[in-house]
């Protein structure tokens, strides 16, 4: 299996840059005419697989909405991951794991190993120190998977921490981007990505990352092509994955409507891909 970064680059060239989220919150389940329970969750997830499998570069299930239903929810998540991967669709589990030592190693094994929850990449929080993510980063590298590290998020609470300036003059967000870039050293497109909010006023310097940039906040939250172009230099735009969820899912539950919404949104992100 080729490294995640290489596989992702190929998928972006084939399908376009969008990362589509599967966020089955209860209000959306009901809006689709499904019950807000494990059965409704399964029906929702099956529609998403039919709509997005083999159609987009990356699909991002939000694990929290599956965890809500306990073991039944995890069973749905497992089957959803398996179904998407059987369609050769890359899966990013939005789990935002971040811990230390053996606990971080266990999280890594759960999501990046060979178990039933194994995906192509996960999101991870580095704010216990970037080095605390080493078990996940090392296993991802060994298994040709990926990690997206939270760097500069757009939630209001984040700025006080992430914009703190360290002794070397860099913000904490910039140190996270630079540490990810160090893991991506080499000629190939790297497998360690970062998460940068599409609605930020200013983004860290991403020019040396050599890896994917996941940018949530597109669509219903106000971000779009212009906001991304204002944050990311032109030569880095081909590495950007605009992340959309609510803006797409509101078009459901018809598979055809979901696919059309993806096509409409993708047309606004005509970045050059190779």
Residue range 55-99, pLDDT digits in tens: 999 999 999 999 999 999 999 999 999 999 999 999 999 999 999
DSSP state of 1: -
Residue range 146-171, pLDDT digits in tens: 999 999 998 989 989 999 998 899 99
Among residues 2, 42, 60, 96, the one annotated as catalytic is 96
> Can you give the pLDDT at residue 272?
58
Range of the domain at 19: 4-266
Q: What's the pLDDT band for 274 if we cut at 50, 70, 90? A: very low
Residue 273 lies in a domain: no
The total number of structural domains in the chain stands at 1
HSE-up (13 A, CA, CB side) for residue 194: 32
Number of Cβ within 10 Å of residue 86's Cβ equals: 11
Is 50 exceeded by the pLDDT of residue 273?
no
Q: What's the pLDDT band for 196 if we cut at 50, 70, 90? A: very high
Residue 272 lies in a domain: no
Query: pTM (2 decimals)?
Result: 0.96
What are the C-alpha distances in Å from 209 to residues 7, 20, 151, 190, 239?
A: 17, 22, 12, 8, 9
Residue 207 lies in a domain: yes
Residue 271 lies in a domain: no
Return the CATH number at 29.
3.20.20.70
Is 90 exceeded by the pLDDT of residue 224?
no
Mean pLDDT of all residues belonging to the chain = 95
| pLDDT (mean) for 45-56 | 98
96 is catalytic: yes
In 58-166, where do the E strands start and end? 58-61, 90-97, 121-124, 146-152
Residue 274 lies in a domain: no
Residue 137 lies in a domain: yes
Of 34-48, 185-199, 257-271, where does mean pLDDT reach its minimum? 257-271
């Amino acid at each position: 299996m080729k490294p995640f970064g290489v596989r992702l680059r190929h998928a972006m060239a084939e399908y376009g840059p969008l990362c589509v989220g599967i966020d089955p919150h209860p209000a959306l389940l009901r809006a689709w005419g499904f019950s807000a329970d494990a059965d409704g969750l399964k029906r929702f997830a099956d529609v998403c697989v039919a709509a997005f499998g083999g159609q987009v570069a990356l699909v991002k299930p939000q694990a929290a909405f599956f965890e809500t239903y306990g073991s039944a929810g995890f069973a749905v998540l497992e089957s959803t991951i398996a179904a998407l991967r059987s369609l050769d669709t890359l899966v990013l589990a939005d789990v935002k794991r971040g811990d230390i030592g053996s606990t971080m190693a266990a999280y890594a094994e759960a999501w990046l190993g060979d178990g039933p929850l194994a995906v192509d990449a996960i999101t991870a929080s580095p704010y216990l120190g970037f080095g605390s993510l080493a078990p996940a980063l090392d296993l991802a590298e060994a298994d040709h998977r990926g990690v997206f590290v939270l760097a500069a998020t757009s939630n209001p609470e984040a700025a006080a921490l992430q914009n703190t300036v360290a002794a070397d003059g860099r913000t904490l967000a910039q140190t996270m981007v630079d540490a990810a870039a160090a893991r991506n050293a080499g000629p190939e497109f790297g497998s360690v990505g970062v998460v940068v909010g599409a609605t930020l006023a200013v983004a860290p310097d991403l020019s040396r990352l050599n890896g994917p940039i996941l940018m949530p906040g597109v669509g219903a939250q106000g971000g779009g092509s212009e906001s991304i172009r204002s944050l990311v230099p032109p030569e880095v735009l081909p590495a950007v994955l605009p992340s959309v969820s609510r803006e797409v899912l509101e078009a459901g539950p018809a598979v055809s409507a979901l696919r059309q919404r993806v096509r409409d949104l993708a047309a606004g992100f005509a970045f050059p891909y190779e």
